[in-house]
Each structure stands twice: as structure tokens, then as C-alpha cells.
Amino acid sequence: MPYSTGPVSIARLPSGNDDFLAFVRFPAGWSRSQPVVYEAAEEFVILEGELRIDDQCWVAPAYGCVAPGSVRRLTESQPGCLAWARFHGSPRAVKAEGAVQTADTARTGANRLRPAGALRAPAPASWSESPRRLLHAFPASETWFEPAFRPSHDREAGRHDAIDLDTLAWWSSASDLPSRPPTPSDTPSRSAIVHRISEMQR
């Protein structure tokens, strides 16, 4: 990751479109003080640890969305963290010289996926304590938290992918991906972050 104090570990996932999907591991003490801008919107889920962008901190488990063109003056993870990230386009950071603007977190803020009382209890079942809800709507897609998601190959369900928040497994309905997803009958309902193509784009 350019302009930072050191490397991060990235496990990229196939997306079937122009999105960049990956698991990212930030080491303890990692930071980037160079102001940067990404042209693409970024969504992320903090799965372990915490991540700070400017004056906002996401502590696992939490969802965030940074609008395209937002200036990020400081990004850091003092304890380290594991994140799942989606860039809606190129993940290339560009220097923002003389930047004073803070990152726009696009209404979602530090959107916790579990009630405050359960944040210190990492039992997988606690993910299901949160209700199903829309996390963010984009012009051509939307991202949901689903407490009981079951993959579907039904054309009416539209094209979608999901990260299982209990096992960190990833699933996609895209037919052009290299591996065949499991059949719905083989996959139990799980708490998941689900990204769907909007109705108008199907």
C-alpha cells in the first residue's frame, strides 16, 4: 500500500466485474500520514482489530463506506486489523497535496454489526443479534447485512456475492468466476454482508 509505513497482506477475490475485492491484513502499528484520494468508493468490514481514518475509528465488527474522491489525511491501525474490502473500481491511491478535507463516510459512519452489549463477546452466534438492514445504496448496487443469508442461484435473486461473517468464507453467484459456488441445499443460513446488483441493473 503506497505512502505507508510498511506492507499489508492482501488476498484478492475474483469479482466478475470491475470491483476490487480482497481480505487485507494490517500489521500492528501500521499507518499512512500522506493524504490520499481514491477515485472509487470503498466499502469495508473490520473483522478483527480496528482501523482509523482521520477522526473516525471502526472497531470490529463494523462496516464502513468511504465516498469516491474523499481525502484521507491519516489512516492507521495501532493494534492491527483484518478487513474485507471492496473498491467499486481501481484501488489506486493518489497523493492529495495540501489536503485539509476529511474523509466522507457516506452516512454509514462506524456502523456496528452487533449491539453494543455484544461487542466484547466474539461468539459467532452473536452476529445474528442484529436485524437485516441496508448498509449502503449505490447507483447500480446495494449492500445489506443479512443475519440469516442463504446463497441462491435463482435468476430472480439477481447477481450477488457475500462474505460469511461466522467463517469468513466468500461466495458469489457470478457464473464467470473460476469456481462453482455451493448449491443452496449445501449451505446453511449464515450472518453475512451481501452485495447485490440493483433491480434496475438486472
CATH number of the domain at 89, please: 2.60.120.10
- Exposure of 199 by Cβ count < 10 A (0-12 exposed, 13-18 middle, 19+ buried)? exposed
CA distance between the termini of the chain? 34
> Do both 102 and 152 map to the same domain?
no
pLDDT of 101 higher than 50? no
Residue 156 inside a domain? The answer is: yes
Reported pTM: 0.79
**Are 141 and 93 part of one and the same domain?**
no
Same domain? For 64 and 128 the reply is no
- Judge if 82 and 166 occupy the same domain: no
Residues 32 and 93 in one domain: yes
From 177, 184, 122, 117, select the one nearest 157 (Cα to Cα).
184
Q: How confident is the model at residue 77 (pLDDT cuts 50, 70, 90)?
A: very high
Both 103 and 129 in one domain: the answer is: no
Answer yes or no: do 127 and 157 share one domain. yes
Same domain, 101 and 185: no
> Which of 77, 112, 147 finishes a domain?
112
Same domain for 48 and 84? yes
Q: Which residue did the predictor score with more confidence, 112 or 130?
A: 130
Cis peptide leading into residue 61 (ω within 30°): yes
Q: Of the candidates 80, 112, 144, which is a domain's last residue?
A: 112
**DSSP summary character for residue 124:** G
What is the arithmetic mean of pLDDT over 162-177?
Answer: 78
- Count up the domains in the chain and report the number: 2
